[in-house]
């Protein structure tokens, strides 16, 4: 987990995706090849913005070992203003959740490896009013 975490760290800390200059499509996670253009792909990095709306969500009760302490937690699919959809945790009370609610990205802790191990950070979302 550790090497793969560090390799992708800038995409976790900032909501950055890739844009295909050939067709204009934007993807997250970043890709080396555009699934529409393939050989004609022309990939550049693009900022995805930090605001979006909640497409759907679930409150997770049965969690893997590394997430057990956080149970229950909310996982959601968020459609960002750029049109890109990301999977992320939502930090809020379950009673606040509704499909279509506006959310914004914040920088939060995700977990750690063992008692004195590395702490993982990444993007979570919180409700925001327009």
Footprint on this chain of other proteins (rule: CB under 8 A): 4-5, 8, 12, 27-29, 35, 55-65, 67, 70, 73, 75-77, 85-89, 99, 110, 120, 122
Q: Which residues bind Zn ion (CB under 5 A)?
A: 20, 22-23, 34, 36-37
Pull the structure tokens for residue 115.
Answer: 């008692």
In the complex, least distance from residue 22 CB atom to other proteins, rounded to whole angstroms: 18
CB 85 within 8 A of CB 77: yes
Pull the structure tokens for residue 26.
Answer: 């934007």
Q: Closer to Zn ion by CB, 23 or 59: give it.
A: 23
Pull the structure tokens for residue 124.
Answer: 């979570």
Measured distance CA(60)–CA(80) in Å, rounded: 22
Q: What residue 99 binds from other proteins, Zn ion, none (CB within 5 to 8 A, per partner kind)?
A: other proteins
Q: Closer to other proteins by CB, 29 or 40: give it.
A: 29
Q: Closer to other proteins by CB, 76 or 92: give it.
A: 76
Q: What residue 36 binds from other proteins, Zn ion, none (CB within 5 to 8 A, per partner kind)?
A: Zn ion
Q: What residue 8 binds from Zn ion, other proteins, none (CB within 5 to 8 A, per partner kind)?
A: other proteins
Measured distance CA(72)–CA(128) in Å, rounded: 21
Measured distance CA(119)–CA(30) in Å, rounded: 23
Q: Which of 50, 63, 42 is nearest to 15 (CA)?
A: 50
């Amino acid at each position: 987990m550790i090497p793969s975490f560090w390799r992708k760290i800038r995409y976790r800390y900032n909501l950055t995706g890739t844009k295909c200059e050939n067709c204009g499509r934007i993807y997250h996670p970043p890709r080396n090849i555009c699934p529409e253009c393939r050989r004609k792909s022309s990939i550049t990095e693009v900022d995805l913005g930090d605001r979006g709306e909640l497409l759907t969500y679930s409150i997770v009760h049965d969690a893997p070992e590394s997430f057990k302490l956080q149970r229950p937690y909310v996982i959601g699919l968020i459609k960002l203003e750029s049109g890109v959809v990301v999977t992320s945790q939502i930090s809020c009370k379950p009673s606040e959740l509704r499909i279509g609610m506006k959310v914004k990205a914040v920088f939060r802790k995700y977990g750690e490896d063992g008692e004195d191990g590395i702490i993982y950070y990444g993007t979570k979302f919180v409700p925001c009013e327009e």
